[in-house]
């Protein structure tokens, strides 16, 4: 079996048996087994189902971490024609973590076969990325005290970018994510007698509209920020005005200052509107993901590695920041590193279906690109003198 076929076989195995956050038991066993089969030392049970595999070559002091995330989403895959479709109802790899794991396994295979580096590589397989809990769990379990790294690298496929291109930037590349829950408590009653109620639906509608002005009128133009109301629940029925409405959603931004501003303005807006109508307001605001902020020196390494693998014309060294969030940001608060995007497909290309879509599928054509990119980072950071390199 050639290299590309092996990567595809691994990826399809992961795709068929998706497991969600902190439940990646079979996924973890399979990936760790592949690495043990390559001769690596594996330590399991870090932050739950996470693990670290170590590959040492030579006696160089440098240590590089390569990270893959293992969890899937609670989305039912709608692609019965796929031979590798999910066999777990209600769960699927709709974000491409199956491909990311296969890329890192591929890098391990290349590095084991070529041994063209001098130092230590740690392959870090992380649980529970989707809800922003896994990286923190591994860090709390003393990941970097037990397995120190000089730098850490990760990637994410991006539909909408041309397949096989690689993009990154210095500084913030992905946003923080904060979640909010707004409870509006009014007074319910008969739908035919609204004058005897304090209608929380009308109040909630006013709040949703007012929140759209928080970014446009409170955040400096040019500073990235998003406020999105995504869910609304009531305890009413067809002929009864509800007594409570719950609004849920999230915000995205890049700095603690903007996070604080959003929280303060949103709280004031919600409490003020409720007070004006004689209703009660409960406002909850939680921090889920920190921004992903790349280290400039590591960005230079990532660009050099990407250029060696896909050519300068296929590398964007200053990609526009995206408002999506990634658990990798928690690692970058502790150690230097870089996160990059690999194009999954654009326009009519395979792989252009959006992330978190029930028909999304990782583009197998980019698996070897990612694997070779990771391996090239290791060779650049842990060089061996007078070694003929093959990319």
Residues that are catalytic: 71, 129
Other Cβ atoms closer than 10 A to 232:
15
Where does residue 227 rank: exposed (0-12), middle (13-18), buried (19+ CB within 10 A)? Answer: buried
356 is in an annotated binding site: yes
Round to whole Å and give the CA distance between 234 and 211: 19
DSSP string across 31-44: HHHHHHHTT-EEEE
- Residue in 2, 110, 30, 21 with CA at minimum distance from that of residue 69: 21
- The Cα-based distances of 313 to 25, 161, 212, 310, 376 in angstroms read 40, 14, 39, 8, 18
Contact 377, 389 (CB under 8 A): no
Distance CA 287, CA 267 (A): 15
Task: Give residue 128's Cα distance to chain centre.
Answer: 10
Is there a binding annotation on residue 333?
Answer: no
The residues near 85 (Cβ < 8 Å, ≥ 6 apart) are 15, 16, 77, 79
Ligand-binding annotation for 97, yes or no, is yes
Q: Is 201 exposed, middle or buried (0-12, 13-18, 19+ CB in 10 A)?
A: middle
23 labelled as ligand-binding? no
Q: What are phi and psi of 334, to 5 degrees?
A: -110, -40
E-strand ranges in 98-203 read: 119-126, 151-159, 166-167, 171-174, 176-185, 189-190
Does 277 show up as a binding residue in the annotation? no
The binding site consists of 95, 97, 130, 156, 356
The binding site for Mn(2+) consists of 95, 97, 130, 156, 356
């Amino acid at each position: 079996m050639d290299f590309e076929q092996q990567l595809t076989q691994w990826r399809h195995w992961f795709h068929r048996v998706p497991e969600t956050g902190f439940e990646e038991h079979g996924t973890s066993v399979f990936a760790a087994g592949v690495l043990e089969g390559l001769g690596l030392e594996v330590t399991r049970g870090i932050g739950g189902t996470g693990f670290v595999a170590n590959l040492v070559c030579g006696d160089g002091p440098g240590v590089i971490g390569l990270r893959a995330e293992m969890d899937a989403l609670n989305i039912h895959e709608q692609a019965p024609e796929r031979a590798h479709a999910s066999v777990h109802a209600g769960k699927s790899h709709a974000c491409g973590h199956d491909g990311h794991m296969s890329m890192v396994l591929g890098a391990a295979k290349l590095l084991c076969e070529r041994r063209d580096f001098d130092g230590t590589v740690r392959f870090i397989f992380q649980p529970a990325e989707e809800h922003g809990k896994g990286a923190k769990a591994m860090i709390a379990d003393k990941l970097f005290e037990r397995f120190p790294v000089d730098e850490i690298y990760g990637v994410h496929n991006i539909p909408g970018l041309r397949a096989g291109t690689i993009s990154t930037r210095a500084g913030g590349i992905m946003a923080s994510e904060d979640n909010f829950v707004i409870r509006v408590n009014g007074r319910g009653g008969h739908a035919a007698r609204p004058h005897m109620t304090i209608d929380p639906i009308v109040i909630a509608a006013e709040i949703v509209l007012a929140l759209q002005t928080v970014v446009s009128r409170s955040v400096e133009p040019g500073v990235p920020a998003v406020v999105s109301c995504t869910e609304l629940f009531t305890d009413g029925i067809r002929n009864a005005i509800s007594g409570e409405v719950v609004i849920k959603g999230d915000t995205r931004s890049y700095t603690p200052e903007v996070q604080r501003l959003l929280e303060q303005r949103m709280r004031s807006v919600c409490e003020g509107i409720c007070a004006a109508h004689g209703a009660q307001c409960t406002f909850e605001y939680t921090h889920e993901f920190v921004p992903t902020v790349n280290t400039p020196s590591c960005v230079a390494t990532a660009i050099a590695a990407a250029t060696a693998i896909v050519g300068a014309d296929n590398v964007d060294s200053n990609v526009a920041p995206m408002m999506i969030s990634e658990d990798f940001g928690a690692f970058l608060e502790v150690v230097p590193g870089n996160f990059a995007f690999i194009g999954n497909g654009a326009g009519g290309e395979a792989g252009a279906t959006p992330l978190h879509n029930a028909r999304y599928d990782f583009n197998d054509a980019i698996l070897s690109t990612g694997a070779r990119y990771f391996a090239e980072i290791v060779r650049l950071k842990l060089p061996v003198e007078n070694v003929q390199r093959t990319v």
